[in-house]
Structure 1
């Protein structure tokens, strides 16, 4: 067995000085013969240098535009051939010139159609394209209407997936809304645009998650006593706004969020993942009586149904005339009516569609509630929404939430 008389010093590379010294040693040993101690030392030094370079001088991913052009050259493709993957001739030109960034849909198309690695297009090492939950067609979300409401940026062209994924993340994830469309608990017209409805629900939950409340919700706190305190706030001209503050102090979100086209939506009752109640009102009908009934109807769902099944949700079109096949809606209607005006007091009052405005105001005054609530009860019971127009407070609610 032979040993080296003058062993070559080899040590770990921990600094630039060590790195430079190792390169000098490699230069000296480059002519070492195979099987010699010098050749073995050369192999060890080369490995140490390679590891150091990988850690400190990593080779970056190729530029996505360069990768696209390389694939075009490989497959002899013209700019016109990229239209199916990018969208239009002008978009292809803008992308290749660097004037337009790649959208997730473009990246997905280029990856699947031309085999360009996803991590190159995403510019993230080892990155993969996000999965598409339940095969969502991102283009079906009503982006123009959402941009008009300022829920998303105005420059939404080609960014449907990115913008919706951002909104969904702020809402708490896709599952926060998807379950409500898997259950038969939405009192909504059959012709409703489901993508618009989902977008509205995502926005509502995002707003709730981004709004802090002064206290946490205590299960079981929606008692008749609390409801009596709430309904008496209606007597004030600022009653709806006071109701929002009152509910916030009890750990409940009340959010005004205008409806989107083709949703026919009045309100919703949902819960965040931590159990916090969320009530959304669209004020589609901007009247005081409508505000208080919609609010108490959604509170009914919170108290009677979501307290026991917090993963359920209720989205309401309260203009549907006859909810006979919706027992929970009938239950919510009854609870709301009882909290707003107790049935025994209503029966004793003998208030009818033939009552005078003076009688209605006197009865409301005794109950310390707004006359619009009394007038609204008559209109609902008679299904005559032309009665007592002067009492129901037209166009007096939205302005409070402006």
Structure 2
């Protein structure tokens, strides 16, 4: 079964996803008039809450929505995902992650604007947002099959199995193995059950508790990791220009790939960027659609900051640490263990513990937010009253992720992400003209304000 999952993920993340995510995102970038570049200053200004309206429909503030979305994206995709990208595609894969991020900013601007523009109501009458409601409300009932495809894939793709797998690997490597306490599969089960209990405490409280915890954890999480990585980068500061140049040159030579296939490097970069910032997948619109905002364009501008923070800033710093220390060329380790080796080399004795703390916070915060995404998908398909059943399924799979193979885990998530991207991008491109009209109206009003 595992081989079929891996084969499917490798197939769909070839030409099909390059056309859908990279091609579609490029169309949106041009269609928007390059809004991510022109309006990033205004987007940052919006985070200060000047335009927040507590009376607007929704459940959380735009800042909490961005925090929750970033909690799901600035996470192990930035630590393990970058390591996997370099392992599979060499430094050049990072360049294509950058390209995907800038394209992804435009995609998120559109998808999250639409999440407010076409909010729907669940079976309990609560206002909800996300691609499934955008499709149903914006495109019409005849397109509802796309909503069903999105939610079906979301139920499986938004499980926290990757986070559980990589957090288990870090705890075993950093704490248990050196102390002689690692007992193999038994240890994995114990860690998995412990994680399940911790996550249950938060997610059973619903989106308000998830958003409240995420808005406190995310700044700490990003700050700790950011400072630690900067310390390492400054330690090797003289080599940074060479590493950045290597990222750019390898992107067009494919020297790190067997056979020098540049196309393969692009695919690796796009695949890992999608897992890292989720632009075009459709997850962020679900949480941004719940924000207390009646200005679609304003929410889209705030949301587009996610890929910039996630990929351009955090992923680049992680890549520099791995490259500057040289561990990507001198070890067979993969995933989070490769990043751990880099921290060990750069900051002996305490580097691994700082990374462990960051991974712990990253993984847990992502698990909290993913549960909300899957909960909404399940509620759409089976009714809001039954949605809470998903939480129990979700919690059980955390234990499964802790004991499963990394290759199978990441391929299952990648495959489901690809399926989710199809209805998300179809609806976004179909409704893009509506966003453009709203955007012109919004900025005209801002000029007069």
What TM-score, normalized by structure 1, do the two folds share?
Answer: 0.20
What TM-score, normalized by structure 2, do the two folds share?
Answer: 0.19
Structure with more relative contact order (C-alpha pairs < 8 Å, separation 6 or more)? 2
